[in-house]
Structure 1
Amino acid sequence: MTFNPLRERGIPLDRQLRNWRELDVNPIDPDHSDPYTRCRIITMNGIETEAIFFSHHLSRHCPDIELKQQLARVRYIEAQQQRVINWLLPGVASVLETTIAYEQVAVDLTAWVARMEPDPYLKQAYQFGVLEDFDHLYRYANLFEMIEHRKAEKIVDQLTEVMPGRPTYLHHRDPVDNVREPYDKTSAAPISKMHALTIMAAEQQTMNFYMNVGPTYMEPIARQLYQEIGLIEEEHVTHYESLVDPGESWWEMLLNHEYNECYMYHSFMETESDPRVKQIWELHLNMELEHLRLAAELFKRHDGRDPEQVLAPELPAPVTFEPNKAYLRELIGTQIDYTTLGTGYVQEAHERFEKMQEAIMGGERAPSERVIEENKHKSGEEYRLETEGPHPVASLRVGRK
């Protein structure tokens, strides 16, 4: 059945405010919930956090006090939505356990987007990034085993493999080489715009999470690993945010944000396995329909165009969390030795890359390499979860040191 958010009626804004009792949701059970339910929760937390940040930035550039007030009203509801979603995460889960779930999101969400993306250049951007998140999952899984004496397979439930991707120490690039070419707002498919916003939001919340939780550890290797991967997440946010056409007006960007929120809530409402969480996705979708209507009115007033000129006439197929093992193994086998040069990709080390590697390493081995060695020493072997045969690259071709 087709669904056009512009033609649907949502809950009026003045009826969306919730009290403390309604906001105080019970968390999911980490031992019995579908791991992809947790992935959907983490994803929507990132989407709502980006919506709040964007609204604040728009308000800071808006001279009209009545518009500021409208943005503030909607933003407060977005903030309530974000609290409800993030508070679904179980308090009994450790920071490292949540970290592994964050990386499972990064792997399977980005892989799905790469598979579905119609633009070859944008597809390559997602394929490039996912091999790095895949390796981050492997590094954190080894830290998890070493510190908490637990296996990551309990968290990912064997839906996502845990094995090396592009080695993390090779992710440190000259900042200028993280900037991509943006899509063209006049010709890009609406789904491409939503993909870019979704992955940007997901990576942004991961960056913020690592920035804040990294120093809470006492173990030196944990603090160092969060610092290293946190810096790479900064690169990833630059990588993905640069895909968005900067020529979009503030009102077009607001419209795209609200439409994407409708798309994501509708997707997860359609695919959610937990009935209680499904009800939250449905409620929030009905709220977002009204937020989209208000954004559409602002777009018509300030851009002088019909929203249907820039938005899809109906929602695409739902965003789906599902295993991407074969796809990721194919990427590992063909793209593991890629790095960036300018706005393109190369398989050879270049001067800027080598200079950055020398500067960031300072003559020492990276924490992401040492965590594997330390876990081997403590646990007897490195931690891997391979469910479909041996690693597709017997000897990694990335020889840059």
Structure 2
Amino acid sequence: MTFDPLEQRGIPLDRQVRGWRELNVTPIDPDASDPYTRCRVITMNGIEVEAILFSHQLARNTVDPEVKRGLAEVRYVEAQQQKAVNWLLPGVSSVLETTIAYEQVAVDLTSWIARMEPDPYLRQAYEFGVLEDFDHLYRYANLYEMIEHRKAEAIVDGLTEVMPGRPTRMHHRHPFDNVRDPYDKAATDPLSKLHALTVLSAEQQTMNFYMNTGPTYMEPIARQLYQEIGLVEEEHVTHYESLVDPGETWWEQLVNHEYNECYLYYSFMEQESHPKVKALWELHLNMELEHLRIACDLMRRHDGREPEEVLAPQLPNVLTFEPNKEYLRELLATQIDLTTLGAGYVREAHERFEQMQQRLHDGERPPSDRVIDQHREMFDRDYRQETEGPHPVASERA
């Protein structure tokens, strides 16, 4: 690949604001579209939300009114992009159907990034987290069949398996043990920075979604399951955000955000099968190229450095949504019993972990276990969808 966003010119900023007719996108048809189209939509919504939140935080930490105004102008366009992207989701989908799609994103996005990650420590962080998202997909799939009497297969379409991962009850750790060691901004591969920002943005989006949608259900088990998994997502955001070097300046972070948006829009444009969605990815890419140029100018002015010092010279291989079944089965066979201790990983339960488990569960089965119990009472089985035969390790992890 030879696409270098630093050498490309995008749409001038004063031509990027769209009227209502342009923002009124037609949502995708969940029954006719590639499930990975929906995954790309969900991913880019998370990326745009992170871009908006980061811009607000930067604006709150600068005294320069000119910078504040410039950030506000770009941020308004980012907000329009977020609306156009997120409004692609079909209104006919229930909250739980969207939840299952969110977890499909978490599983296949994080798996692909783990496979491509050059840093062994960062790769382990993604491998650890993905086995927990994998189990969340399984728990929600059982809830979906109980409440809506439909199977998650209709959503994931055989691309992502549905079966137990690391049991959700084991995800509750002492907060100290959710903090990882950061990468070194001066030594790490630029691709690693993009990976960390992408997974952080996706998990942050999921955390926010569960915090706000969980109490909208009437069924007690649904409300309780969203509450439990919502707490795990908070752990995941802590886990991933701590990987980022806190020594990165605001301007380094800004150019990384804008470069990552170019990378992802380009990646998704290259693989998108839906013509109208592909056109939106291309439009937003051309907007982001200008946002990146503006960010680079701010970095030169306020950091006194060239963006080439921190960014990749050209885009890496396109980030791809694809099945990761064999990879996940290997992780299930080798890492399902891991937990964290300090910034590392261990196989044995330790005092802090056991104390946290006791404080939360207090001898009771958590919602993530009870949803499986209730499903078995209703159907005489749990719900799982394994496309390549039963796994020797994960046959009974509920």
Assess same fold via TM > 0.5.
yes
How many angstroms apart in 2 are the aligned matches of 1:318 and 1:195? 12
Change (3 A) 1:397 1:231: closer
1:286 aligned onto 2:286? yes
How many angstroms apart in 1 are the aligned matches of 2:379 and 2:28? 31
SS at match of 1:159: coil
| Partner residue, 2:261 | 261
Return the offset for 1:396.
Answer: 6.4
The root-mean-square deviation of aligned C-alpha atoms, in Å, is: 1.0
| Partner residue, 1:346 | 346
1:334 aligned onto 2:341? no
Return the offset for 1:362.
Answer: 2.3
Q: Is the 8 A contact 2:161 2:325 kept in 1?
A: yes
The residue type equivalent to 1:309 in the other structure is: E
Unaligned regions of 5+ residues in structure 2, if any?
Answer: none
CA displacement 1:150-181 (0-9 Å, x = unmatched): 00000000000000000000000000100000
Q: Is the 8 A contact 1:163 1:391 kept in 2?
A: no
The residue type equivalent to 2:393 in the other structure is: V
Return the offset for 1:4.
Answer: 0.5
Q: Is the 8 A contact 1:266 1:285 kept in 2?
A: yes
Return the offset for 1:392.
Answer: 3.2
| Partner residue, 1:52 | 52
The residue type equivalent to 1:328 in the other structure is: L
Return the offset for 1:397.
Answer: 8.9
CA displacement 1:349-373 (0-9 Å, x = unmatched): 0000000000011221000000001
1:1-400 matched pairs, under 5 angstroms = 1-393=1-393
How many angstroms apart in 2 are the aligned matches of 1:396 and 1:32? 34
CA displacement 1:180-201 (0-9 Å, x = unmatched): 0000000100000000000000
Deviates more, 1:383-392 or 1:248-257: 383-392
The residue type equivalent to 2:223 in the other structure is: R
SS at match of 2:345: strand
SS at match of 1:326: helix
Deviates more, 1:386-395 or 1:27-36: 386-395
SS at match of 1:345: strand
SS at match of 2:340: strand
The residue type equivalent to 2:106 in the other structure is: A
Q: Is the 8 A contact 1:252 1:299 kept in 2?
A: yes
Change (3 A) 1:117 1:394: closer
SS at match of 2:88: coil
The residue type equivalent to 1:153 in the other structure is: E
Which aligned runs of 4 or more in structure 1 are off by greater than 6 angstroms?
395-398
Residue identity over aligned pairs, in percent, reads: 76
Unaligned regions of 5+ residues in structure 1, if any?
Answer: none
How many angstroms apart in 1 are the aligned matches of 2:135 and 2:392? 14
Q: Is the 8 A contact 1:337 1:397 kept in 2?
A: no
SS at match of 1:297: helix
CA displacement 1:254-296 (0-9 Å, x = unmatched): 0100000000000000011111100000000000000000000
CA displacement 1:316-366 (0-9 Å, x = unmatched): 000000000000000000000000000000000000000000001122100
Return the offset for 1:394.
Answer: 5.4
Return the offset for 1:388.
Answer: 1.1
SS at match of 1:133: helix
- TM-score, L = length of structure 2: 0.99
The residue type equivalent to 2:81 in the other structure is: Q
The residue type equivalent to 1:131 in the other structure is: L
Return the offset for 1:378.
Answer: 1.1
How many angstroms apart in 2 are the aligned matches of 1:10 and 1:392? 51
Return the offset for 1:395.
Answer: 6.5
Return the offset for 1:132.
Answer: 0.1
Change (3 A) 1:267 1:394: closer
Q: Is the 8 A contact 2:164 2:397 kept in 1?
A: no
Q: Is the 8 A contact 1:299 1:307 kept in 2?
A: yes
Change (3 A) 1:384 1:25: same
SS at match of 2:69: helix
How many angstroms apart in 2 are the aligned matches of 1:4 and 1:131? 34
Q: How many residues align?
A: 398
- TM-score, L = length of structure 1: 0.98
The residue type equivalent to 2:282 in the other structure is: E
How many angstroms apart in 1 are the aligned matches of 2:374 and 2:396? 21
Q: Is the 8 A contact 1:109 1:321 kept in 2?
A: yes
How many angstroms apart in 2 are the aligned matches of 1:9 and 1:397? 52
How many angstroms apart in 2 are the aligned matches of 1:362 and 1:316? 48
Return the offset for 1:303.
Answer: 1.0
Q: Is the 8 A contact 1:336 1:396 kept in 2?
A: no
How many angstroms apart in 1 are the aligned matches of 2:392 and 2:335? 12
Return the offset for 1:309.
Answer: 1.1
